[in-house]
Chain A
């Protein structure tokens, strides 16, 4: 359906909500992430009588799946075909109607912690990109994590050239910003997202000379029963297929982009055939001219907030890790729940089913009454069916061990710290690294701004030397970068932002620019009075002879 830009048909037109006082009573439920799972969980819980805080990093709800333009752009919904928009409109109405739900937009949660009284605190920084706002703490009696996924990437020579963009990134920029990375865009990698991205780009006016898929699509046929049970998914694939045919997009199965050509930006790519293990077949490389490449190899559940507090994980059929969840979506840590891609990538319909399941279970727990058994049974059946389909898809798109065959020693693995494959290989073969953490320590791969989200899969593959070792659970105690001024803030105290720009002292000896002179450095809460003789040089206790 068409959503008028200026009307509250899509949830995106919601006005700003006030930031609550962190010291106030806790919410019944804090939901982190406002994509399909979090949004469904939040409105369901509110409708069941809970007070809910919906905390999300974006300015508008929807997450990545329902990413849409800002109202000011004059387009109420993404410019490309979206087969599943109606449920989002419905969620938007429910969000708007909810009186006990507070939607905290542009809140980037960096940590969650369980307090001694059993409540949960979500620590966040605010602002469009988290750098220009004050720190906020949101407390809840229960916590639902719906933090989604990020794209999985496998490096290849030239993948850091401008014009190479994530397939999901190209989709996101198109959906929200109505822009394309180029006029002639090759789509490559692996996974069902590629077809959707290619269809979107083509519909938006890009020429898509090729969709390059590393897996063989025939592998879906191995689970015909799962496919038959998911007619909606089959129809979805047909929609994309028809769209691609109309735009004369050519699909190259069992192939990969093994090199990008260009000096300052993309000029062409080499596409090579792969064997069953994703090893490029010599002599099969073909050059395809293009000015952009959209690439991705599936999705990785984003679970660091949960692993930081000790939640158990499980290895998923595509080799990634998701949270291990109980029948009603609770993690191994009581009071902490998860829904959507955090438990395994499965799409929006599954995410909605899981969000509702979790909300009903949380409401039942907090309100001390039984969840509606008929609805619970229906949701479980739907979830199991969709999960089986997602597992079959995931298995078909698991990277084969041979993909490292297209890496040259100078291919950058870590984009942030510019660490080439040769250095990672040296750490593994010569310096005693056996796991991603040690590779990171010895090479800096994964130490930069993205904290290994882009290079994690590749580093884990190289560290295991091709052995089918699933990566260890991601541990990032800070889920997003946090200004030191925000970390240092104490509840109830005024907070001063620091200067985000830091300059070296000019060579001519001019005094450095520093912010307001602070009080003399007083180590907080030192066990002894600072500056006292004991504090400075207390003799160490020694054993009596």
Chain B
């Protein structure tokens, strides 16, 4: 493989794989590939964690997933996160805090319990919590709730630091090229990948992993394939530093419905959690508005109303900041993971919607298995990247 004449080669060495995207998913792919003995160059047009990773709360959830391939990915990831945690410094704030899903009335509770029963059959550890026992888990929860379900496997991590620390933990096998935008996916006469052209020069490798998150569809297009990744905007509200008022990840049962919805309109459901640094994080709003970062005061109003309804004690707490992030979603709400049969050497690891932090380790392991030819840790078929026929949105 020789550098092309027009664009000088950026690096003399040829890594085994180029990962495009230095977010959490890219970091996990690079980490697992490096641990399997491969050399990896991670390319990002911005900084580490510059996209969705830097805009999320760091949810590592099984509780919001219905039985199926995504839940399998989440369960494997939960195990992997627990193994990774000791490798990360304390500032990555990994906390196996558990989740608590609450229902306001008996009808909602019956539905929640039925949903939980199916999850339990699929291997999720959980425990029904009667209404009068909710305060043992969350002393500041509003009184009068019908009940809930406790999910001890849910956890949280500080996503930007986790991504940065994971890239470091990959050691010398990982090379970072930040501020470097991929402008072309280079292919040989046989149509197979031979590297990428970047704003800083050409980089060559026999494999390219698309971990470009919300921009994964654009990178796919650079490689000539169709992958309909679209942004779904969400706001997060962050309060002043507070004592530990919220101990679990706490959310209302209708969050699950919102996650799976196809509506473009604004949807909000209260998702509340504390952080070791003190601030309480409040989500989750969903709307499809492209990459518009303009503040939606209506989204904030609903987030604040939902959070203070769950935790009345927060009414006087002040929000110090809020920010928008864009969840990269695919039409069937499943990520694209694995080799793209249309372009040999191209792999995808994107479209994780709002669950990318949680699903990253299993994604990285699956991608690495595809690269090394090892047995995949779970069935990759539901995540195949060519499942969307061209012409779909």
Contacts and interface: CB of A to CB of B under 8 A. Distances in A.
Interface of A: 111, 113, 121, 123, 131, 308-310, 417, 427, 430-435, 437-438, 441-442, 444, 447-449, 451, 475-478, 481-485, 487-490, 496-505, 512, 514-528, 530-543
Contact of B317 (A310, A434, A502): A502
B308 A535 contact: no
A308 B50 CA distance: 19
Interface stretch (B74-82, B137-145, B204-212): B137-145
A465 B257 CA distance: 46
B317 A537 contact: no
A438 B49 contact: yes
Given A433-B47, A497-B316, A536-B111, A520 B142 contact: yes
Given A437-B54, A537-B66, A543-B332, A484 B107 contact: no
Contacts of B104: 520-522, 530-531
Residue among A451, A504, A526 with the most chain B CB within 10 A?
A526
A437 B263 CA distance: 31
Nearest to A441: B160
A532 to B, nearest CB: 6
B200 interface: no
Nearest to B108: A531
Contacts of B254: 523, 526, 528, 530-531, 535-536
B318 A502 contact: no
A432 B103 contact: no
B142 A505 contact: no
The 5 closest A-B pairs by CB, nearest first: A498-B315, A498-B316, A531-B108, A536-B111, A432-B48
Contacts of A523: 252, 254, 268-270, 302, 306, 309
Given A523-B306, A524-B306, A526-B254, A477 B316 contact: no
Nearest to B296: A113
Given A434-B178, A477-B321, A477-B323, A520 B144 contact: yes
A348 B318 CA distance: 33
Contacts of B221: none
Contacts of B256: 536-538
Nearest to B254: A535
Nearest to A539: B66
A484 B307 contact: yes
A134 B123 CA distance: 49
B185 interface: no
B265 interface: yes
A520 B145 contact: yes
B302 A449 contact: no
A536 B257 contact: yes
B47 A434 contact: yes
26 contacts: A121-B297, A433-B164, A434-B178, A437-B47, A437-B54, A447-B279, A477-B322, A481-B240, A484-B315, A487-B319, A489-B301, A498-B314, A501-B316, A502-B313, A502-B316, A504-B243, A504-B245, A515-B313, A518-B142, A521-B309, A523-B252, A523-B254, A526-B258, A536-B111, A540-B259, A541-B262
B315 A521 contact: no
Classify the interface of chain A: helix, strand, loop or mixed: loop
A56 B313 CA distance: 30
Nearest to A430: B168
Contacts of B179: 434
B139 A505 contact: yes
Nearest to B331: A543
B319 A481 contact: yes
Contacts of B342: none
Given A430-B168, A515-B315, A441 B54 contact: yes
A485 B315 contact: yes
A447 B321 contact: yes
B201 to A, nearest CB: 18
A534 B254 CA distance: 8
Contacts of B176: 432
Given A433-B48, A438-B48, A514 B313 contact: yes
A501 B243 CA distance: 11
Contacts of B144: 517, 519-520
Contacts of B370: none
Given A438-B50, A533-B110, A487 B312 contact: no
Contacts of B318: 131, 481-484
B178 A521 contact: no
A435 to B, nearest CB: 6
B46 interface: yes
Given A438-B48, A485-B315, A527-B263, A535 B323 contact: no
B171 to A, nearest CB: 13
B112 interface: yes
B96 to A, nearest CB: 21
Contact of A483 (B107, B302, B315): B315
A536 B108 contact: yes
B150 to A, nearest CB: 16
Interface in B274-319: 277, 279, 282, 293-295, 297, 300-310, 312-319
B319 A434 contact: no
- Which residue, B114, B257, B322, has most C-beta atoms of chain A within 10 A? B257
Contacts of B111: 531-537
A135 to B, nearest CB: 10
Given A481-B240, A527-B265, A532-B111, A512 B140 contact: yes
Contacts of A448: 241, 320
Nearest to B113: A536
B315 A519 contact: no
A76 to B, nearest CB: 35
